[in-house]
Amino acid sequence: MKTRILTFTVACRAVALCVGGSILLALSARAELKWEQNVIELHPSVGDKQAVAHFKYQNTGTAPVHFKSVKASCGCTTTQTQTEVVNPGEKGEIVATFNIGDRTGQQLKTVTVQTDDPNPAQASTVLALKADITPALEIKPQVVYWQNGEEPKSKKISVKAAKEFPAKEITIKSNSQNFESKVEPGKPGEWTIEVTPKDTTHPIGTALLIQTDYPKNAPKSFYLNVVVTNPPQAPPALRPSAPAAPGIKAATPAAIPSVSPAAR
Amino acid sequence: MKFRVAREGLLLVALAALPAVGEGFYFRDRVSWQSPIPAAELVTVDQAKAWGDNAIWVDARPDDEFASDHVPGAFSLNEDHWGELLAQFLPNWSPQKKVVVYCSAESCNAARDVAKRLRDDAQIQNVFVLNGGWEEWVKRK
């Protein structure tokens, strides 16, 4: 009996020693990457091509941290790490560059960082970049439709320049003979475009190129699409033998001059 | 008696809410994820393939990925050059067609964003996001 009690006591001590030792070891050699900010809000200016976020970190632990992967959620965002290993006490940053392109409105792009931190909760971190993109020109609507057979009446499109985009004049370019367009200036920085199709007897579409007089050395270009479509098809049950409707003939965009990279 | 029950009830509710408030405060910097795409706006590869010529495929991935490979007949339409690419896409679209938008994989958001813009900016109905994206298409082609 005494032997059993002794064995049990020794076993308990051994387990306690192991657990305690592990905890001590974990505490003494922990790796911890502390991020200054997980979410960064950016406010790019009108016309900016990129928005850059600097996610700063520091290894506040006592063991080195290795980056295993840094992945952006979107092909539009590139990331750059300064180093592969972050030693204890070391500071650094991951730079995320968001290429704005033709995006507008609220944007949320994420970067997932995987490290070799033994703590699963710390091993993966999601960093987020938020940006509110104001378009230089607000075109409403961006696409104007007429139905095939509809009376070829003119339709109006409103164009408004952003406050930070001091365009005084816009011009319209089109190689299509099927649509007529004219620009009427309104308040400063506001215009109304009137587009009229010559006829709506067949489906046709084209893109009108709106060009601003600002910036002077690299005027910006925007597209306004005007389309004559087939009327929406009746449900198949009502038209069992209806032939497939032809597509819209493209008058452009091949005819439209290509847009300078500055406008993208 | 009634007040006591009500008071105890309120106390229980407050206690239950406490961890949620704490979590909200502790994880205030965490990213709030976008809600999932409604099932009605998603389409599987098999369903989209079954639509045949009634479907028009839209590749929302960056230019280089589209250039590398894409669904046969798909149009490149990403937000890097939205205006220019939409102008190329629209003449090939007709209201009868179902638009199937895809990006790289399940985890990408580009298809959802392009689909939303097609609905909002171009007022196009019948726009669907391909479940699993290009990755799923490659598996099932």
Residues A141 and A124 in one domain: no
Domain ranges of chain B: 1-32, 39-140
Quote the CA–CA distance of B104 and B62 in Å, as a whole number: 9
Which pLDDT does position B9 carry in this prediction?
77
pLDDT over 90 percentage in chain A: 67
Residues A64 and A112 in one domain: yes
Quote the CA–CA distance of A91 and A57 in Å, as a whole number: 6
CB contact under 8 A, B79 and A103: yes
Residue ending a domain, among A133, A161, A180, is A133
How close B13 comes to chain A (CA, Å)? 29
Which pLDDT does position B33 carry in this prediction?
53
Which ipTM value was assigned to this complex? 0.75
Residues A150 and A211 in one domain: yes
B-chain residues near A101 (CB < 8 A): 78-82
Chain B residues with CB within 8 Å of chain A CB: 29-31, 34, 53, 61-62, 65, 78-84, 86-88, 90-96, 104, 107-110, 113, 121-123
Quote the CA–CA distance of A211 and B43 in Å, as a whole number: 38
CA angle B55, B56, B57 (to 5 degrees): 115
Residues A63 and A87 in one domain: yes
Given a cut of 50, the residues of chain A with pLDDT beneath it are 25-27, 235-247, 250-264
B-chain residues near A208 (CB < 8 A): none
Which pLDDT does position A243 carry in this prediction?
37
A-chain residues near B78 (CB < 8 A): 75, 101
CB contact under 8 A, B87 and A223: yes
Which domain does A66 fall in, by range?
Answer: 31-133
Per-residue pLDDT of chain B (141 residues; tens, 9 = 90+): 667 878 887 887 778 777 766 765 655 555 555 567 889 999 999 999 999 999 999 999 999 999 999 999 999 999 999 999 999 999 999 999 999 999 998 878 899 999 999 999 999 999 999 999 999 999 988
Quote the CA–CA distance of A166 and B65 in Å, as a whole number: 36
Residues A57 and A104 in one domain: yes
Q: Between chain A and chain B, how many beta carbons pairs sit less than 8 Å apart?
A: 114
Residues A158 and A227 in one domain: yes
Cα distance between the two ends of chain B: 70
Query: Using a CB cutoff of 8 Å and minimum separation of 24, what contacts does A150-157 make?
Result: A150/A200, A150/A228, A151/A200, A152/A196, A152/A197, A152/A198, A152/A199, A152/A200, A153/A196, A154/A194, A154/A195, A154/A196, A155/A194, A155/A195, A155/A196, A156/A192, A156/A193, A156/A194, A157/A192, A157/A193, A157/A194, A157/A195, A157/A224
- For residue A221, the chain B residue with the least C-alpha distance is B83
**A261 located within any domain:** no
- For residue B82, the chain A residue with the least C-alpha distance is A102
Residue ending a domain, among A133, A163, A186, is A133
- CB B66 within 8 Å of CB B93: no
Which pLDDT does position A242 carry in this prediction?
36
Residues A128 and A153 in one domain: no
How close A13 comes to chain B (CA, Å)? 36
Which pLDDT does position B109 carry in this prediction?
87
Domain count, chain A: 2
Residues A116 and A165 in one domain: no
User: Which residue among A39, A256, A258 sits closest to B29, beta carbon to beta carbon?
Assistant: A39
How close A39 comes to chain B (CA, Å)? 6
How close A103 comes to chain B (CA, Å)? 6
Name the residue among A191, A208, A211 with its Cα closest to residue A263: A211
Residues A129 and A142 in one domain: no
Residues A128 and A165 in one domain: no
Residues A113 and A63 in one domain: yes
How do residues A130-165 score in pLDDT, each as one tens digit? Answer: 999 999 999 999 999 999 999 999 999 999 999 999
B-chain residues near A102 (CB < 8 A): 79-83
H helices of chain A, in order, are 2-28, 120-123
- CB B65 within 8 Å of CB A76: no
CATH architecture of B39-140: 3-Layer(aba) Sandwich (3.40)
CB contact under 8 A, B31 and A247: no
How do residues A117-132 score in pLDDT, each as one tens digit? Answer: 988 888 999 999 999 9
How close B115 comes to chain A (CA, Å)? 13
Residue ending a domain, among A67, A101, A133, is A133
Q: Pick the residue of B63, B64, B90 with the most A CBs within 10 A to test the interface with A by mutation.
A: B90
